[in-house]
Structure formats: C-alpha cells, structure tokens
Amino acid sequence: MIYDSLKRLTKHSAIYALGPAVQKGIGFLIFPLILLYIGKTENYGVVDVSGATIAVAAQCLGINLLHGMTRYYPEYATERERGKLVTTCLILLGATTGIALLGAAVFAEQGARMLFDSPQYGGAFVAVAAILFLQTIGQVGMRWLQILERSVAYGVLTTTKTVLEVGLKVWFLVGLGLTFMGVLYSVLGGELVVAVGLVVWMVRRLGLSFSWPMAKRLARYSYPLVLSGLLMFVLHQADRFFVKGMRGLDDEGIYGAGYKFGTIANAMFLDAFGLIWFPYVFGLKDPETIRVLCRKVLTYFALVMTCASLALAIFSEEIVRALAPPRFFDAHQVIPLVLAGYVAWAVYQVVSTVFYLRERTFAITALVAGAAVLNLALNAVLVARMGYLGAAWATLATFAALAAGSWIAAERMMPVRYEIARVLLPIALGVGLYVATRWVPADAGLLGWAAKGAAAAALPAMLWFGGFVRREEKEGVRRLFQDLAAFARRRSPANGA
C-alpha cells in the first residue's frame, strides 16, 4: 500500500511537473539574458520590487475572490447562475484593480517616489498597476478553466504566455535597450494577450451580468483570506522592501537575483509535489496509512531537497559566474542561505498536512502569523547590520522556526511519529559538506571543481551505502525506477501512445 502510494505520488509529481517545468525552465534560461541587459543592479531591483508589489496589491484588491468562485460554483444548479457567478467575480476584480490603475496613472510620480524612492520611475509604477489589472482579470478566466477541468487549454495558455513574454523580453531588452521597462513591458504584453482572449471568450460564452447577492457572498468568503495572504506575502516578499528601504535599489537588485537562483530546488521539486500531495492524501481514509505515508514522505522529500540544495549551494559561485554579469557576482552569497530556507519550507509543507486533515486551519494562520512577526523583526535588525545578507539569514531563520513550530504543534494534534533523526541527519551532513567546500581555494581550477563535485556526490553516496537507506527501501527504489521506466516505454511514440 505505502509503496503504491509513493509510486503514484512520484509518477504524478513528474507528470504535473512537465508543464510548469517547461515554463520555469524557460524562465531560468532567459534569466541570464535579463541580468546581462538589465543594466545597473538597481534596475533589477526595480523589477524585483515591482513583482513583490503586484503580489501584495493583488491580496489587498481582492484576488481571493477566486477562492470563493471555486467554492460556490458547483452549488448553483443552472449554467446561467454559474456564469453569473463568474462574471460577477470578473466585474468586481476588474473594478478594484481598474480603479487602482486609474489612480496610478493620475499619481504616477507620487507613487513612484513612494515605491521606488524616485519620481523618475513613474512609468514603471503605471506599468505595475497595468500588469496587476490585466493579470487579475486574466486569472478569472484561468480559474474558470480549472473549474471546467480544461487542463490542456490551461497548459497551452500558460505556455504560450511564457513564450510570448520571452520573445518580447529579447526584443525590448536586446533590440530596443529598454532595461527594466523592457522587462515590465514584456510581462504586460503577455498578460494583455491572455486577458483579452479570455475575457472575450467568457463574455461570448456567459454574457456579462452582475449579482449583488453573489458579490456579497464572494466578499464574505474571501475577506478572511486576505490576512493569510498578507502573512504569506510577509514571509516571501517583505525582505525586499527592507533591503530597498535600508540599503537602496542597488543592493535589492543583487539580493533579488540571488533569491531567484536560490529557489531553483523549490521550483524543481516542491511546486510539482504540492500539486498531487494534498489531493492524494485527502482521499485516504485509514488514519494509520496516513501516518505512515506522511512519515515516509517527510523523510524522503527532505532527503531529495537537501541533496539538490547542497549541489546548488556548493556551486553557487560558479552558477552566478556562468549565468550573470560580474556586477551581480555578490548574489552568490545569498543562494546557500535561501536554499537552506526552502529545505525548511519543504518540511513545513509536509508537517502542516495534519492541520488540513483535522480541519484546524486556524492553527496554520496562527503559526504563519508568528513567523511573519519574527520575519519582520529579524529583517529590521539584520538588514540594518548586514545588508541583503541579513535578509537571507532572516528568511532561513523564519522558515526554520515555522517548520519546527509546525512540527511540534502537528504532533500534538495528530501524532505521526516522524523519523526525527532520519530527517535531520541528511540536513546536518549537507551543512557540514557545504562548510568543508568553503576551504577549497577559489583559484584551484579543475581540482577545485572535482573537490566540490565529490562533496556534492558524497551526501547521497554516504546515505545510500552507509546504512541510512534501508534494504527494503533500496529495493523499493529499484522497483520504482523499473515501474516508471516501463510506464515511460508504454507511453512512448514508438509504442503508439
């Protein structure tokens, strides 16, 4: 039973990862070009702060109405009522973000002075508001596609938008030399095409009607979610504003680039795993099966995240040298800390499953609120003393505290008896191996590369051959790869799939 569950989770994580992996892969491939042509590091700081601003503004202006739309859509009996719910959500979000866009256009210089500390970024401020408007109304259509289970259409649209944005970035950055405005314009172009296409499709299919009772129902459902959304914003984005406010856009640009590189393991493994984990575990009924599965998943997933993060951390300097211009080189200092933080974040994601299973979501809000307060306090102290490295340390400390606190609280609510030693041992060994590589001289050449490569490979080798991985687990891994290989062969074009 447990082997079949793990096989299914692995297989579906890999399948779900294909679409997002292509998009994220394209994003990471284009990232070096952005850094090369963006100009000064402060220009990337403008881009990074713009992304964070869009995230928090979307929470404040009602993006959580989409959760209400998803929740209530099946409850309406007729297609006409369901369509009215969708267009009511569209009109509400179009109104809130449209008013914000109008305000940004009227008060562009004042807004730029507040957000970027200079009125010269007025165009960027308006572009941010326009992206927010188009992205939000486009999300209504994207969510409707999810409700209708139109996964192919959803994947085609998101991939098309990514490819379009990449093409526009090359044109605006390389061809026209527009630096940070080129990045913003490319995102704006992609969102414009998707938003216009989806809105036209929705209006043709559903008409354009509005219901005050539905609007009130959506607002009542989504309003409490604003707090949790803002708390998550604090955890993942507030550090940018501390760095910008205390050290300026130049340092924020370096920090933002390092943070982007530091989320590679999260994008590769955690995002795809999350798409299948919660729907799958919610479908299980036997409490003991759930406990055993959660226990195994935490052990194995922490191991995978640690091994991947260790390799990226060891070669962080080489990654930045290869993919970024020299002015961004200091960003490599941020990468290991962010990688370690997201290992802790992965632990939190698994142990917090208990709260959802027991329908104690208030516990998640309380824990995240405590972590958010800690994050703000640490950023206020550490960024003032250490600059952007202080922000990276604040991220690591906050995620580690959230993981530990959630683990303790979840065990009290539903004892899973996680394998503490087996979760923490790979992490401890990974930290030790990383620290050891810091003694490799920067001018060691091929010998240095070989030493670092050996250190990256040492962790999985020690765990596999040193008794950490048990005999039955090794057999399970072999069977898993054999089953996945057989599945891939059956799906290959050569077999007519």
Cβ-Cβ contacts under 8 Å for 42 (sequence gap 6 or more)? 248, 249, 250, 252, 253
Structure tokens given for 65: 């109405």
For residue 102, the tally of other CB atoms under 10 A from its CB is 12
Q: What is the pLDDT of residue 484?
A: 52
Structure tokens given for 149: 């289970």
241-to-45, 52, 252, 320, 442 alpha-carbon distances in Å = 10, 9, 8, 23, 33
More confident residue, 4 or 443: 443
Is residue 389 scored above 90 in pLDDT? yes
Buried b (16+ CB within 10 A) or exposed e, 72-89: bbeeeeeeeebbbbbbbb
Q: What is the pLDDT of residue 365?
A: 84
- Measured distance CA(254)–CA(230) in Å, rounded: 25
Is residue 375 scored above 90 in pLDDT? yes
Strands (E), 24-111: none
What are the extents of the domains in the chain? Answer: 1-37+263-489, 38-247
Q: What is the pLDDT of residue 13?
A: 47
Q: What is the pLDDT of residue 24?
A: 66
More confident residue, 158 or 167: 167
pLDDT band at 103 (very low <50, low <70, confident <90, very high): very high
Is residue 8 scored above 60 in pLDDT? no
Q: Which amino acid makes up residue 398?
A: T
Whether 92 and 62 have beta carbons less than 8 Å apart is answered as yes
More confident residue, 71 or 249: 249
Strands (E), 87-179: none
Sign of CA dihedral 211, 214, 220, 225: negative
What's the chain's Rg over C-alpha atoms? Answer: 24
Q: What is the pLDDT of residue 22?
A: 63
Rounded mean pLDDT, 275-280:
62
Residue with tokens 């998803």: 70
Rounded mean pLDDT, 303-331:
93
Q: For residue range 209-264, list pLDDT tens digits in order.
A: 999 999 999 988 887 777 878 888 899 989 999 999 999 999 999 999 999 999 98
Is residue 279 scored above 90 in pLDDT? no
More confident residue, 267 or 345: 345
Rounded mean pLDDT, 139-163:
82
Cβ-Cβ contacts under 8 Å for 426 (sequence gap 6 or more)? 302, 303, 306, 307, 459, 463, 468
Q: Which amino acid makes up residue 299?
A: T
Q: What is the pLDDT of residue 201?
A: 93
Quickly count helices (H) and strands (E) in the chain: 21, 0
Rounded mean pLDDT, 99-116:
95
Whether 32 and 325 have beta carbons less than 8 Å apart is answered as no
More confident residue, 341 or 33: 341
Q: What is the pLDDT of residue 210?
A: 95
Q: For residue range 437-481, list pLDDT tens digits in order.
A: 999 887 778 898 999 999 999 999 998 888 887 777 677 667 656
pLDDT band at 16 (very low <50, low <70, confident <90, very high): very low
Average pLDDT of the chain?
86
For residue 229, the tally of other CB atoms under 10 A from its CB is 17
More confident residue, 402 or 230: 402
More confident residue, 275 or 220: 220
Q: Report the run of H or E that residue 353 belongs to, with start and end.
A: helix 353-357
Q: How many CA atoms lie within 13 A of 198 on its CB side?
A: 27
Q: For residue range 28-47, list pLDDT tens digits in order.
A: 778 888 999 999 999 999 99
Q: What is the pLDDT of residue 317?
A: 93
Cβ-Cβ contacts under 8 Å for 103 (sequence gap 6 or more)? 111, 129
pLDDT band at 49 (very low <50, low <70, confident <90, very high): very high
pLDDT band at 15 (very low <50, low <70, confident <90, very high): very low
Reduce the DSSP state of residue 275 to 3 states and report it: helix
Q: What is the pLDDT of residue 232?
A: 86
- Measured distance CA(98)–CA(394) in Å, rounded: 35
Give CB contacts under 8 A, 24+ apart, made by 454-461.
Answer: 455/310, 455/314, 456/310, 456/311, 456/314, 456/315, 458/433, 459/306, 459/307, 459/310, 459/426, 459/429, 459/430, 459/433, 460/307
